[in-house]
Structure 1
Amino acid sequence: MSTEDIWAVAASFGEIFAVESPPTHSDMDVAFRRAGVLSPQSAPGSGIFSISKARRITNAFDQADEGKVDGLIRALTSSLVAKRVFEKTYDEVTQNLLDELRRNLARVGWGLSPAGSLSPLGVIDVQVGGREALEHQIKRLRNSGDDVSLILGAAKDSLEAGAKFVLEERQERYQPDESLEALLNRAMKLAGISTRPADVSSDASKALATINQSVPKIAEAVRKVRNDQGSGHGRTVMATMSMPEAAFIRDLTLSVVNFLLSEHDAHPRW
């Protein structure tokens, strides 16, 4: 996403918050804390000078690094949803501002539904199309927001894409019906990740081997929860898994994929 695109998103949020109340300044404080940014209502060293809501949003985006921009977008959108701004279908001014926000969010890879639900744009083919396609799949997982089913589906897809990427880079074939656990187990071996202690006399070495042994089991667990509650398969029921549980699976999956790719990059292919 370009700086210009981010500025456009910030301006859209600023215009909406400027005309809507709620969300209040206090609601914005909550959103900023969730996103891990600081944008106070008063100027530094002054308890009198009040900064406008639009300016506070601009300040928040200015200080948010690339890793926090998506979190800030999610937090501000959630604030608008909580205060029922998206339900004001009778207000033409508000709807025009929301339409502009949708257009600008699309520029940075987000889709925004009429009800205020965020979702990453674009469908990534699980069949690996190079490192760029894999990075897009990982980004899709990172940007899965608070949608539990999407998190679980993207987690399984990311593990599968990561394993297939390593296999293809190592000129290894895989079968269409090969299980996720088998794919990941083979990819780990090719990337030089050992499930046996390098030094049997070292407790640390044995502990590391135990952790490595758990990776295929993690993949198996992710596959099972995805099949039961994740996106895909034309599912028509809501996921019952809690958001903290889904976030844990997302973070664990990202750690596994990053570990696999780091070891793959660190070991020569020939």
Structure 2
Amino acid sequence: MIRLPLSDEIAVAIAQVVNDATPVPTRKPSHADIESLVYRYKLVDGDPNLNGFSFGKAKRVNAILIWAIEYDLDAGEAFISALLSLIKGLGGFRQESPNYVGEEAIQNLKSSFEGEGISLASDGVIMPLVLDNFSDKEIEKFLQSYIRRAKKGASDAALLAGTAKDLLEAVAAHVITRILGDYPQKNFPTLLGLAFHLLELSTPKTQGKSSQTKRFEISLYELGCTINNMRNKQGTGHGRPFLPTISEAEAKAAIESMGMISEFLLSKLKGKLHI
């Protein structure tokens, strides 16, 4: 199952596909179905219906997701992935089904996911967008969305939808492509080192533009290489992105660091290209 991104916009769009007002008031998933997922992903504290209120399905799901964005993003992303799989299995994306969610709700959700690098087909099939098919500005928009998730420690944010690259590797490749027009297929330390060099940043082998920040820049480069070494190379794209010997706390810190380094490189790229 693809882990889906969660944002305020997506929370609203997800709520629309479980709306119990149109077109069929009793269409599934039921409140019991939603509650089952709430318990599975430990979102009880964010569920108003389990805390003394009686919300309709749409308002209930929206409240759960808004709470998750603030307090447990990983659980919220797992919840919406499971919820959409459930809706698809119940016929929510088939027009002839009594549980059909409606064309407008599907289009709104499709648009919300596209902004996060995810493609939603009309039949409910979800796939990562292939970023190579987009403009530089669109690619940078998608990269920024993953950087935001990485900085929050989202468990799959080390992976970039649409490619086999880690977020930091994808950012380094984007930097090189924007400056040189293409990038060589090199090992990660060489690729990251080239991106740093083109941005006039220091690495252990090169002197950057500013001697005052040399130690800081080298530390970022070495941290990026260390995080790459922690990666589960056999598992990229499926499940946990880090080796099983890496603790959850270490993985979260690594992902947040990856987001920080990626954001730093993109900001330097914008400064260099004056964009």
Q: TM-score range by the shorter chain?
A: 0.5 to 0.7
- Return closer, same or farther for 1:215/1:130 CA change in 2, 3 Å cut-off: farther
Deviation of 1:10 after TM superposition, in Å, equals: 1.7
| TM-score (norm: length of structure 2) | 0.56
d(CA) in 2 for partners of 1:73, 1:29? 14
In the alignment, what sits opposite 1:55?
59
Aligned equivalents of 1:5 and 1:239: distance in 2?
A: 22
Equivalent residues, number: 243
C-alpha displacement at 1:74, in angstroms?
4.7
Alignment of 1:113-132 (within 5 A): 118-120=126-128, 122-125=129-132, 129-132=135-138
Query: Which one has the largest radius of gyration?
Result: 1
> Within 2, Cα distance between the matches of 1:80 and 1:153?
20
Question: Of 257, 260, 264, which aligns to 1:259?
Answer: 264
| Residues 160, 166 of structure 2: 8 Å contact kept | no
- Bigger proportion of residues as helix: 1
- Which of 4, 14, 17 is residue 19 of structure 2 equivalent to? 14
Is contact 1:162–1:261 with CA below 8 Å preserved after alignment? Answer: yes
CA distance in 1 between partners of 2:59 and 2:242 (Å): 35
Mapped contact 1:18–1:54 kept (Cα < 8 A)? no
Structure 1 vs Structure 2: percent identity of aligned residues?
20
Structure 2 gap segments, 5+ residues each: 1-7, 21-25
Say whether residues 1:23 and 2:41 are aligned partners.
no
| 1:136 and 2:136 aligned | no
Per-residue CA deviations over 1:147-203 (Å, capped at 9, x if unaligned) read 79965974726434422443455x44665334442232122133343346957xxxx
Taking a change above 3 Å as real, the CA distance of residues 173 and 9 of structure 1, as seen in their structure-2 partners, is: closer
Which residue number corresponds to residue 4 of structure 2? none
Q: Shift of the alpha carbon at 1:260?
A: 1.4
The match for 1:108 is: 112
SS at match of 1:125: helix
1:182 aligns with 190
Q: Structure 1: how far apart are the matches of 2:171 and 2:236?
A: 19
How many angstroms apart in 1 are the aligned matches of 2:241 and 2:268?
Answer: 32
* Offset, 1:133: 2.0
For residues 97 and 268 of structure 1, what CA distance do their matches in structure 2 show? 45
| Residue aligning to 1:97 | 101
Are 2:225 and 1:230 aligned?
A: no
Change (3 A) 1:32 1:97: farther
CA contact (8 A) 1:12 1:101 kept: yes
Question: CA, structure 1 residues 7+212, in 2 after alignment: closer, same or farther (shift >3 Å)?
Answer: closer
Where does structure 1 lack aligned partners over 5 or more consecutive residues?
232-237
- Change over 3 Å in CA distance of 1:190–1:6 after alignment to 2: same
Query: Structure 1 residues 186, 151: closer, same or farther in 2, change over 3 A?
Result: closer
Q: CA RMSD in A?
A: 5.5
Q: Which amino acid aligns with 1:125?
A: D
- Using the size of structure 1 for normalisation, the TM-score is 0.57
Task: Specify the alignment match of 1:162 in structure 2.
Answer: 171
